[in-house]
Structure 1
Amino acid sequence: MDEVEVVVAHSERATLRVGDVFLKVDADQARIDAEVEAMALVPVPTPEVLWHKPPVLAIAAVPGTPLGRLGEPSTASPAVWAAVGAAVRKLHDTPLPPRLGRARGLDELMAELDVECELLVTNGVLPADLVTRNREVAEAALRPWTPAFTHGDLQIVHVFVDGDEVSGIIDWSEAGPGDPLYDLATLTLGHEEHLDDVVAGYGTDVDLDVIRAWWSLRSLLAIRWLTEHGFDPSAPGCEVDVLKSRM
């Protein structure tokens, strides 16, 4: 019998693997519903939904291997990164999902950023000059954008490749209208050396300064949550190092 592997687990959700089946348990039914709906709409490879019985979603493993991991060098070739960029462009060119979530507004983002930056400094998590500098960089992302169909959490580990092709994109629970450059920034977070390859595959309408701003913004917003949920944003190559690279 296959062993049960805990892929990820925290207070909001857990993912278990048994052989080639993943069981996703989520306390938020709307998030699971959004994931199922998004996978049915997008023109890129996604996991097969085996069954869905709240609060559990069962999906099949996708072929291939992750594009890479945060904090580790990616062994994928420039052609593979370009292929991922092309796949993301197909996603962003898809008509907006009719019922999937809403994009966070600028006022909401700015308020959240102000709170997180203050907590990072007052709690002694990060030096004030590091937070201040990245808060300045992040401001370039806080501008009006035309919403696109976005993945919403396009971490490098959520993209699977097989040979030179994208074989699957997983974890669609945050899918919905959003800034397309946020997806590109999340994909290349900690892998700045592959940004040009991704952009070459993605095509036009890419402001590199905005992507760099999203690196700072996403990292500033994520550090406290990651720490509270058992992750280490100060590990080599991860969020804290991303912030330090902006100095």
Structure 2
Amino acid sequence: MYIKQYATPDPYERELRALQQMPDGLAPHVLQHRRNPPTLILEELPGVPLDDPAAGHPSRWMQQVLETVVASVGLPGPWPDDPPTQISQTQEELAAALGSHTPASIQALHRAIQEPLRVPCHGDATPPNVLVDPEQPRTWLLDYEFYGPGDPLHDIAALCLTPSLDLPADMRLALLRQGRLMVEAKTEMPLADRIAGAIAIWAVQCAAWHRRHRPATDGFEEAVLSNATLAIEASERGLI
């Protein structure tokens, strides 16, 4: 068993609701839950995080990971009506830096903030929240405490573009396109003109988080902006 306690009720309620609705094989089962204090007792799954060296090269897993992420999109809820995305001062600085590399990111970012997608999705599909089992092989998603209306393309960008996964540039772009097409099929929404905005939001949020929590991570912030620049320019050319 894996025991998870929460400081406040909201993330507990979200994760419990999401896990209770999740199709089998995508996430751990809830064995018990308690509201005071907010606690989930979850099935402990075999495997290691996607960015753990024991997982092997991430290219082995990315197809399955995208399938798992997209399969979790669209749970009926009900979900809280979260406030719109707000950009902090640090994120504004990073958005300006990204815009200096690729001006198309500015308009894309503004649209993503002003006209956000509201599709129920994981909300934090980063490599540490993806568990892989090299023995099977199979993949799961963990930590559904942010599940709710949001942009599933943001989750796709977080997986395909993070510098913490060693993927060649052409593979990153191919995976982004594949993920975008999979989300379109799941949601029945045309999303080609929205992928650049999702990438821009991911870039400024990811780089700001690392600047705040891991300032000594050499080159990570620059790698985030570089990967985002590559992908946004590819989206402008219709490649993703």
One-letter amino acid of the counterpart of residue 108, structure 2: A
Query: Which runs of 5 or more residues in structure 2 are unaligned?
Result: 185-189, 231-240
Give the percent of matched residue pairs that are identical in Structure 1 and Structure 2: 25
What SS does the aligned partner of 1:57 have? strand
Q: d(CA) in 2 for partners of 1:169 and 1:86? A: 11
Q: 1:216·1:242 contact (CA, 8 Å) conserved in 2?
A: no
2:211 aligned with 1:232, yes or no? no
Q: 1:188 to 1:197 in 2, by over 3 A?
A: closer
One-letter amino acid of the counterpart of residue 89, structure 2: V
CA RMSD of aligned residues (A): 3.7
Q: d(CA) in 1 for partners of 2:150 and 2:130? A: 19
**Count of matched residue positions in the alignment of Structure 1 and Structure 2:** 210
Q: Give, in angstroms, the shift of residue 226 of structure 1.
A: 4.8
Query: Which runs of 5 or more residues in structure 1 are unaligned?
Result: 1-20, 121-125
Q: Give, in angstroms, the shift of residue 146 of structure 1.
A: 4.9
2:168 aligned with 1:188, yes or no? no
Q: Deviations over 1:152-183 (max 9, x none)?
A: 10011211122464332100000012112111
Moved more, 232-241 or 201-210: 201-210
Residue of structure 2 in register with 1:47 after alignment: 28
Alignment equivalent of 2:130, drawn from 132, 152, 159: 159
Q: 1:242 to 1:152 in 2, by over 3 A?
A: same
Q: Deviations over 1:206-246 (max 9, x none)?
A: 85774454343233235555555xx3156246344202443
Residue of structure 1 in register with 2:105 after alignment: 137
One-letter amino acid of the counterpart of residue 235, structure 1: T
Residue of structure 2 in register with 1:57 after alignment: 40
Alignment equivalent of 1:113, drawn from 75, 83, 87: 87
TM-score, normalised relative to structure 2: 0.68
Alignment equivalent of 2:81, drawn from 97, 102, 105: 102
Q: 1:139 to 1:203 in 2, by over 3 A?
A: same
